[in-house]
Amino acid sequence: MDELEKEKRKLSKTVKEVKEVLSDTEEELDDLYGRNLYDVDTLRIMAKEKEVSIRNLKSSVKKPYFARIDFNQEGENKTQKIYIGKNGVKNLQMK
């Protein structure tokens, strides 16, 4: 498999994982509104945090990362690839 095809697969996998986290976060926001466990001020703060996360995740679906750095250690043939994005995504394993 050539390098371009590997990158396409990596991007596809990353976007899929971001969409899964986005879906989970949207569900958490819906659940937050559905429960009456918190006072109004706490609920507003928690909801605002979820809304910001959702906005950032939607942005990440369109462009999950903007750069890649390849690290090559002397004497080793393996390249470590680090992808850099503008939004951190929890529960997302970048391999």
> Which pair of tokens denotes residue 80?
């470590």
pLDDT of 54-84, one tens digit each? Answer: 988 888 888 888 888 888 888 888 888 888 8
Residue 88 has pLDDT above 70, yes or no: no
pLDDT of 28-37, one tens digit each? Answer: 888 877 776 7
Domain boundaries, the chain: 3-84
- Any idea what DSSP says for residue 34? H
User: Of 62, 60, 37, 61, whose CA–CA distance to 47 is shortest?
Assistant: 37
Helix, strand, coil share of the chain (percent; to 5): 60, 15, 30
How far apart CA 29 and CA 16 sit, in angstroms, is: 20
